[in-house]
Structure 1
Amino acid sequence: MESEVKREEWKSTSGFILACIGSAVGVANIWRFPYIVGENGGGAFLVPFLIVVVGLGVILMMLEFSVGKYFQSSIVNSLKRIRTKLKWFGVLIASVSLVILSYYLVIIGWIGFYLSSFLVSNVLGFEDLAQTYFSLISFVVVTLIVVSIVNKGVIHGIEKFNKIAVVFLIAILIPFTIYAITLPNAMEGITYFLRPDFSSLVNPEIWTTALGQAFFSLSLGSGAMLTYGSYLGKRQFLLKPTSTIIVTNTGVSILAGIIIFSLVFSNAQSPSQGLPLVFNILPEIFSNIDYGMQIGAIFFSLLFVAGITSAIGLFQVPMASVQESFRISRRKAAFFVLVLVLMFGIPSALSYSPISLEFQEEKFLDLLDKIFGTYGITIAELVFVISVAWFMKKKRILENLNKNSRYNFPDWTIHVLKFVAPMLIILTVVSSILSENF
């Protein structure tokens, strides 16, 4: 075993905020959010999603930050220090993060496929991609890129990369939104996307999907926010950074939805095409507009960078857990996680290849996204909240949430964390499972 080294800290608050935005804002917002909205009736999904983000997102993100900051440890070691046996919940959360990362990297590889296609002005369809082994090759390449960034450490790798990438992403999304809303029939798409349907409030499946998407896009349940919070200084306040991260993240999701649905309705396409929505619609649009090759290359380069920033956060969770649990170097821990990611990711990559790997007539990647992207990450957040709210001292929780803050969370916040949040998560998940089976 190797001697333990001094734990890194973020160089600046802005670096921490941008890294967290990078982890939250990414393919989950620009790729997953529009297709999830499309599959769940547009505005019918938006109401539960925003309720979850505002009602639970702020307090749960702050809870992850505060626990990480207090223990200055990974998800596994943080829960272990609350109660020894709780480390297995930490292992569960890190494992969920690893599985999500494994198929997430495949999707980033698809983005790389379209980026290269636009760069050489030879754009192929998603069906063409599925007839090749490019998914497998690009998955390996993207994984190695993420490992190379993480290996450079928190300051010189994660923080430095996100400071450039996140600003670049947001700066390009805004003009894309302006362009999209000027297209013919764009308002039909925007209306479909933004018009609320309050009947959705009684649909348990939509609530479960909204919970999963909120946790996925905010990086809750994956342990990423706790891990990033563990690199904060003890005096760092939390409410303002948390609010900035959530507002920015939700704003990017809304902009992405406006862009995608404006493009979809402008070209008379179905808004509920599922997983390949972005990969079917956008290449077709860009191929038929002036300077489409250049615009497509810029857009997919942004999407690629956004995907990398999110993948870095997901990778850091199991890597930090392995590094601290076995007291080994960052490079050795990264290599160990790399092997596991390849083991889980290769079957997902083969889902969209000539092999077309399926399980019970469903693409292996789609199945993983359904199980882990919705249920897995939701259950992971559930066990985290229970571990902290029920086994950590009430006084310590409130002290860490309120430290160096002008606004203090009241005592009843503990009851929300102990009872309200867990019961909402349990009820929605169980109701969704029952409605699917019956």
Structure 2
Amino acid sequence: MRFIKDLYLSNRFFAALIACGLLFVIAFFIPVLFIPAKLLFAIFILLTAIDFISLFSIKEAFFSRRFMAEKLSNGSENEIILYLENKYNFSVNVKVIDEIPHQFQKRDALFKESLKKGQTKKLKYLLRPVKRGEYEFGAINIFISSIIGLARRRFRFEQGKTVPVYPSFIQMRKYELLAISNRLQEIGIKRIRRIGHSSEFEQIKAYVPGDDTRTINWKATARKSSLMVNNYQDEKSQQVYCIIDKGRAMKMPFEGLSLLDYSINASLVLANSAMIKGDKAGIITFSSRISSVLKADKKPVHLQHILELLYNQRTNYQESDYESLFANIRLNINQRSLLVLFTNFESRAGMRRQLPYLQRLAKHHLLLVVFFENTELEELLDSKPENTEDIYLKTIAEKFSYDKKLIVKELNQHGIHTVLTPPSKLTVNTLNKYLEFKSRGLI
């Protein structure tokens, strides 16, 4: 039974069988062809037997394995490696079908290779998940054929493997490495000139070329008879809270990812960056009620807590309750903090309903409201209308786009900082705003 399950006949087998059958039919009318037909059929049977024996004579004649990370990164390209090893004593043709999770809706994970005797090879391909959760990988199906090519033998490896998809830790690590190597400008992070100094004095030290001459301490200079400067350090241990709206407005998808997933990925990067700079990072998620609160901290293990919390967040398609958000923040956050609110306002009326609560938050904390441009409207805004319906649609699109700008202006008038950004640039624009606040000494 095992032999039958793993045996597959190729197109070449059926083509040869049909050719023999046709030759026998023709030989019925032309008897002289009967002997060549029998000879050809005998050769066909012999080659088929040789092919079967060569493929099935060795029990473990091939090996394959899938190499991948223990968890995948949402919204990022994740590398999958398939290792192939030919243990036959002859060259084989290999067809590889990897059973990838159904969430990708891909049926083309098919690879064709040729491996010589004892040869190994690695196949690489990329997967980009757009939803968090558990992904089930199936088996690696290997179909082996010899140079004769009349039959194939199937091997199955790695049968069933569940892999979790977490918020984009690949993106987080990328920003972290670029920050360490001072290359953040390559991805749009601006160098922002520091205005003034932190109020936290550290020490008086000898002047070295490159120190800010405005920090010269003239009294200490007179006592030491050499230039001395005041040394300041950045204020640390400030609290940064990423507040993620999980209401129905955040379910809107752009390039496969929902606004909620964009916000979760940006929150992870921002929290990690804040902790690197010595600040404390916390997370609050809410919709019709407060879903989860993770107190701000900066311990190394805290990043893993953030990752685990963000992994399970889902929209519930309900209206977000900003009143309960305000009440929870007033109750649980006593120290003045930076609140980065990831939400989405599609109309001025929708924003004005929440404006009283945003004003109250801004009174006690430094509030940054981050919401999204509708990039799907860009093509419509740039198009030339050809009929009345096109004019109507373009007019509506322009109104939506203009309303977003008016929302920014109105929030700024009430002392609320804003970032209006395309979803694809959310992380960069949010980080730039955080660094701007740090440079201005606002937090």
Fold-level similarity (TM above 0.5): no
Structure with the higher fraction of residues in strand conformation: 2
TM-score by length of 2: 0.23
TM-score by length of 1: 0.23
